[in-house]
Chains A and B, each alone.
Chain A
């Protein structure tokens, strides 16, 4: 199982771009990388998922280098409502690899006015 390492916390200001990097040195060949966002007193929710290179959706971009040992979540022009904890997860439940998953500690992002 791939373990992940993220910064514990980050601060930013409204309108800035925020990049959160996650290290996952022992990622397996078939593992996808998924990022979740969690607001206080709510369950985590999916933001973005990727396997390699770059993925972009309406809320974020995910950059994954060729060696896949790290990934970077990029949030463009953050607002106060982006204040949350962001989790990087390597692997998802599959019949081939099983259902045991290890979340990291998450990165607490604080966006200030």
Chain B
């Protein structure tokens, strides 16, 4: 089954404790992206990757890091989480080889930083 998976689905942590949220896709997609979703603000892009070893900032990259060492995985790293990073996070992937390619989203990771 074609899918995007995220782990963990739920996470409660404390300020300053480094964490990683994993994202994996099985569709051989070149493009992957991370979003955060907050009430009243919709989906905001954090980072994206057009292909392996190619990453770039989205709209709200501060406080986050990413890496893309292999095509299927795109982990999101919070080196020193703060309470304002409490949010619902989504990973997405697509194949940007033409003009009309849609994104497939993961199920989301709900993060709470105390």
Contacts and interface: CB of A to CB of B under 8 A. Distances in A.
Interface of A: 30, 32, 34, 36, 41-46, 49, 51, 87, 92-95, 98-106
15 contacts: A32-B99, A32-B100, A42-B107, A43-B4, A44-B90, A44-B105, A49-B100, A87-B42, A93-B94, A95-B96, A100-B57, A100-B59, A103-B44, A104-B42, A105-B40
Interface of B: 4, 31, 33, 35, 40-45, 48-50, 56-59, 90, 92, 94, 96-108
Contacts of B48: 93, 99-101
B105 to A, nearest CB: 3
Contacts of A44: 43, 90, 103, 105
Contacts of A93: 31, 33, 48, 50, 94, 96, 101, 103
B100 A51 contact: yes
Majority DSSP secondary structure for residues of B touching A: strand
A99 B102 contact: no
A46 to B, nearest CB: 4
A92 B42 CA distance: 17
Question: What 10 A-B pairs come out closest when comparing CB atoms?
Answer: A43-B105, A103-B43, A105-B42, A99-B48, A93-B96, A46-B102, A93-B31, A94-B96, A32-B100, A106-B42
B104 to A, nearest CB: 8
Contact of B56 (A51, A87, A100): A100
A40 to B, nearest CB: 10
